[in-house]
Chain A
Amino acid sequence: MSNGATEMLLSACSQFLAAYAPFDRMEPEALRFLAEHVKLAHYPKGARILANEMGVARALYIIHRGQLRVKSSADGTGNAAYASVTLGPGQFFAIGALMAQRPTSSAYVACEDVFCYELPADDFFVLTQKSTVFNLFCTQHIAGLLKQSQQQLQLQFAQRAAEQRTMNSPLAAIVKREPVSVAAEASIRQVVELMADRHLGSMVVVDAGEQPIGIFTLSDVLKRIVLPGTSLEQPISAVMSPAPQTMPLAANAHDAALAMAMHGIRHVLAVDEGGRLKGVVSERDLFKLQGAGLRQIRHAIDAAGSLEVLQHARADVRQLSLTMLAEGVGAQEITQFISTLNDTVTRRIIELNLDRHDLYGIDWAWLSFGSEGRDEQTFSTDQDNGIVYICTDIMDREQTQWRFLEFARDVNADLDTCGFPLCKGNIMASNPDLCLTLEEWEEKFAQWVRTPEPQALLNATIFFDFRPLYGRFNLAHRMRLSLFRQTQGNPLFLRMLAQNALSVSPPLGRIRDFVTGADRDHPGTIDLKKFGVRLFTDAARVFALARQVEATNTAARIKRAGALMNISPDDVAASLDGFNFIQLLRLRHQHFEQEHGRAGDNLIRPDELNEIERRILKEAFRQARKLQARLKLDYQL
């Protein structure tokens, strides 16, 4: 219907819109389409124009007149940075919710009489196709949200890191647990038992007024009790160091460090105004505060002469990863960093064990598989390793393997001690099936490729991501070449592997935005490993094997194979962004979980993410879907 009245109203509407970006740059036909399809609606003061409870966003709202307030619903982090924003004429919402076809998590409330032009969702999507300007704007809008989210994450971590790192923090902030103290009359036996029981490095002796009168430390046990043969029934006051160094709770960490250096002591006692004991600050506490740099950690690891030092180094790796998160380092760099330092720890453990195991004269290499093989380790990771060696004389084979297994058992145990739990699936070098000669490995791989039954395909997803860690790297290279020869000769294998990769779909629903029902024991959650990173790593593995890309790292595989597959650099970058975002969420989740004393799992609750994160996560899953679509196309699945 075209008449004078409509023409007049449309041109007035277009004129209004054209005064604001991005409509000012929009193509005339697209602008006309927009004006033709909007409806003008009115909302009185206080009305909720759009809110979460209204369900999936059904229209784009462009404010014609009046002001409204955007109220961010609680996003779980208590972040109030963008809790309240006011929108006025020419501004619009909620593009993110519309594009993701899900409810908005903010509430849009009219501050006065508000008139909005409303464009129904269907027409909105037509418009994004009609107008390149508008399309670009919406895409950039989403990209902007991504940046915003990263900044938010950084802010969150920066605060935490700052709390933990500063040497200016008062002792009150450093002292974590209630001090344990004993009276001067307590027997040495009682004190030592208590220390052993509670894993204490020191014990403070107090008088009736809770004022410290002495300190007794573990190192005193040897010098003052064992060597002189002191009776354990004597009172502790006989062997304690009297007049310990005390400092008020308000003193800062720096003061404590200074006092320790000046008096050559390892403990400082924090006391309140009444001189009563409130806590013990150790040298180690202060060392943690200072935070170790990457170079110090590497240096410490390389020079480590005992497992104890390596255990500390592992803790430092965690601390530094946290700092890196705070500094806004991307997930890819962090996972690679964790892998690198874990490699260093592993190498040092291997070296320490080589002192005790003679493997001289044999060519061999330590291999890592799975996420470590891909350089994608997160905070919680168990062992996935194996050994390849050359056996020149078949008669020596059994004997040689036995020596390697002995060696591997020790290394696996030491790795466990240093925070890499033993692999539940026994994917470890101490497993005779994974401690093989080059020929055996080649045969094993060939077998899986020739008969791609389910178990073989599962093995492929773990073992084909192998990477040498120590020893003769060229052995691993020969394994890789042999693997490529096999996969090129068996097109069926790649097809089956692709099919296997497609067996898990991105958890995106048709109606609700996320599918969270996959795990019955944990309703409302998404396993970001199984339904997140694996989507990317599985697709990338097929791409890499098909194009003989040697890399094992998922990002590197997608980049290199993508170039050979004529995937545009933009698309490659988009899928890497998606992959990295999921990894970032995993890292953050694991960190918080472990901080609260739980085993770091990969189960996140979409409901607990904020609006922006949910949008981006959804986009990340869409990127995974794109990779899967490519697999379907390539293998006609």
Chain B
Amino acid sequence: MTWLSRLFAGQEAPDPALTARQQQLLANWRQLPAPDMRRSHYRCRYVVVDVETTGIDVKTDRLCAIGALAVVDGQIDFKDAFQLVLADAVPSAAGLAAERSGAAPVDALLAFLDFAGKGPMLAYNVPFVAAMIERTLAEGLRVELGLPWVDLAWVMPDLFRNIDPAQGGLDAWLSHFGIESIRRHDAVSDAYVTAQLLQITIASGARKGFATPASLLELEKARRHMHQSG
């Protein structure tokens, strides 16, 4: 079928490797409206993401798994969750992985886009998580995600100033709020605990006047600015 789609898609096709159906899905996703960042936390759908990787270097290490959960209107629905495990991350499939040079399967990435919609996206330590995901999408789909990301690692210290778990990172926040992981460092499990931190964060934010995703982003921007100049 590939040749046929190539024939019809003509020059407009961004990636001749995609089937017509895949291109359609991609086009559908592109047409989704941008997220309304000015809606209340309790009227929007946050996509909380975490990743598993081979290491901590954004440039050389590779993505092994994505775990994602939606926080819709402030609530977590277990049926609204997503998991993607890349073939080369599974040791038993190593032979096959070598051949495919670590490229993520197109359908799985499309499924991720379908789950994520147009966000807003949220993670703990966005520079790393977002970079990993965006690179994988660029390689596999030649797609630029282009969505707003909120980073809890920046937002939370500002909202919970009396708590200072800065040194301990995610684990320190979890232990402070008594949130237990199902399996720490599993992408889904980490996304789940991050989602719970988000629930705590938006409740606190809403009380302090940060009632929308946009206001969290502004809070984050101000803090980054302060850190850079200071």
Report A-chain residues with C-beta under 8 Å of the C-beta of B203.
Answer: 42-44, 47
Q: Is B178 at the interface (CB under 8 A from chain A)? A: yes
Binds B, one of A8-16, A125-133, A607-615: A8-16
Q: Would you give the shortest CB distance from A227 to chain B, in whole angstroms?
A: 89
Contact with B along A4-41 (1 / 0, CB 8 A): 11101110110000000000000000000001101111
Contact with A along B53-97 (1 / 0, CB 8 A): 000000000000001110000111111111101000000000000
Q: Are B177 and A113 in contact (CB under 8 A)?
A: yes
Q: With A4-B188, A42-B203, A44-B204 in contact, is A9–B85 under 8 Å at CB?
A: no
Interchain CB contact (< 8 A) of A40 among B76, B178, B183, B189: B76
Q: Would you give the shortest CB distance from A89 to chain B, in whole angstroms?
A: 10
Q: Are B199 and A4 in contact (CB under 8 A)?
A: no
How long is the Cα–Cα vector from A6 to B80 in the complex, in angstroms?
7
Q: Would you give the shortest CB distance from B113 to chain A, in whole angstroms?
A: 15
Q: Are A41 and B74 in contact (CB under 8 A)?
A: yes
Q: Are B81 and A42 in contact (CB under 8 A)?
A: no
Contact with B along A516-546 (1 / 0, CB 8 A): 0000000000000000000000000000000
Q: Are B200 and A113 in contact (CB under 8 A)?
A: yes
Q: Are B83 and A3 in contact (CB under 8 A)?
A: yes
Q: Is A1 at the interface (CB under 8 A from chain B)? A: yes
Q: Are B196 and A8 in contact (CB under 8 A)?
A: no
Interface of A is mostly: mixed
Q: In the complex, which residue of chain B has the Cβ closest to the Cβ of A38?
A: B78
Q: Is A65 at the interface (CB under 8 A from chain B)? A: yes
Q: Are B81 and A40 in contact (CB under 8 A)?
A: no
Category for how many chain A residues contact B: 20 to 34
Interchain CB contact (< 8 A) of B78 among A9, A41, A118: A9
Q: With A8-B189, A35-B78 in contact, is A42–B83 under 8 Å at CB?
A: no
Q: Is B192 at the interface (CB under 8 A from chain A)? A: yes
Q: Would you give the shortest CB distance from A453 to chain B, in whole angstroms?
A: 61
How long is the Cα–Cα vector from A13 to B81 in the complex, in angstroms?
14
Q: Is A389 at the interface (CB under 8 A from chain B)? A: no
Q: Are A42 and B79 in contact (CB under 8 A)?
A: no
Interface residues of B in 136-193 (CB under 8 A from A): 177-179, 182-183, 186, 188-189, 191-192
Interchain CB contact (< 8 A) of B83 among A5, A47, A113: A5
Q: Would you give the shortest CB distance from A34 to chain B, in whole angstroms?
A: 11
Q: Are B83 and A40 in contact (CB under 8 A)?
A: no
Q: Is B207 at the interface (CB under 8 A from chain A)? A: yes
How long is the Cα–Cα vector from A38 to B79 in the complex, in angstroms?
10
Q: Are A5 and B196 in contact (CB under 8 A)?
A: no
Interchain CB contact (< 8 A) of B69 among A1, A5, A44: A5
Report B-chain residues with C-beta under 8 Å of the C-beta of A8.
Answer: 83, 182-183, 186, 188-189
Q: Would you give the shortest CB distance from A259 to chain B, in whole angstroms?
A: 69
How long is the Cα–Cα vector from A8 to B74 in the complex, in angstroms?
21
Q: Is A115 at the interface (CB under 8 A from chain B)? A: yes
Report B-chain residues with C-beta under 8 Å of the C-beta of A39.
Answer: 75-77
Q: Are A5 and B200 in contact (CB under 8 A)?
A: no
Q: Are A115 and B196 in contact (CB under 8 A)?
A: yes
How long is the Cα–Cα vector from A617 to B74 in the complex, in angstroms?
37
Q: Are B78 and A42 in contact (CB under 8 A)?
A: no
Q: Are A40 and B188 in contact (CB under 8 A)?
A: no
How long is the Cα–Cα vector from A487 to B83 in the complex, in angstroms?
74
Q: Are A36 and B79 in contact (CB under 8 A)?
A: yes
How long is the Cα–Cα vector from A414 to B80 in the complex, in angstroms?
79
Q: Are B78 and A44 in contact (CB under 8 A)?
A: no
Q: Would you give the shortest CB distance from A137 to chain B, in whole angstroms?
A: 23
Q: In the complex, which residue of chain B has the Cβ closest to the Cβ of A11?
A: B182
Q: Are A6 and B78 in contact (CB under 8 A)?
A: yes
Q: Are B74 and A5 in contact (CB under 8 A)?
A: no
Interface residues of A in 50-88 (CB under 8 A from B): 65
Report A-chain residues with C-beta under 8 Å of the C-beta of B67.
Answer: 5
Q: Are B82 and A3 in contact (CB under 8 A)?
A: yes
Q: With A3-B81, A9-B188 in contact, is A42–B182 under 8 Å at CB?
A: no
How long is the Cα–Cα vector from A44 to B197 in the complex, in angstroms?
12
Q: Are B78 and A13 in contact (CB under 8 A)?
A: yes
Report A-chain residues with C-beta under 8 Å of the C-beta of B75.
Answer: 39-41, 118
Q: Are B188 and A5 in contact (CB under 8 A)?
A: yes
Report B-chain residues with C-beta under 8 Å of the C-beta of A41.
Answer: 74-76, 199
Q: Would you give the shortest CB distance from A45 to chain B, in whole angstroms?
A: 9
Q: Are A42 and B189 in contact (CB under 8 A)?
A: no
Q: In the complex, which residue of chain A has the Cβ closest to the Cβ of B206?
A: A44
Q: Are B83 and A4 in contact (CB under 8 A)?
A: yes
Interchain CB contact (< 8 A) of B196 among A3, A35, A42: A42
Interface residues of A in 105-133 (CB under 8 A from B): 113, 115, 118
Interchain CB contact (< 8 A) of B82 among A5, A115, A118: A5
Q: In the complex, which residue of chain B has the Cβ closest to the Cβ of A16?
A: B180
How long is the Cα–Cα vector from A588 to B220 in the complex, in angstroms?
63
Q: Can you report 23 residue pairs joining A to B where beta carbons are below 8 Å apart? A: A1-B79, A5-B69, A5-B81, A5-B83, A5-B188, A6-B79, A8-B83, A8-B183, A8-B189, A9-B81, A10-B78, A13-B78, A36-B79, A39-B75, A42-B196, A42-B199, A44-B200, A44-B203, A44-B207, A47-B203, A65-B178, A65-B179, A115-B199
Known: A1-B80, A39-B77. 7 other contacts (CB 8 A): A4-B83, A5-B188, A8-B183, A9-B78, A12-B182, A39-B76, A41-B199
Which residues of A are interface residues toward B (Cβ below 8 A)? 1, 3-6, 8-10, 12-13, 35-36, 38-44, 47, 65, 113, 115, 118
Closest 8 pairs between A and B when the two form their complex, measured CB to CB: A42-B199, A5-B83, A5-B81, A44-B203, A40-B76, A4-B83, A9-B78, A39-B75
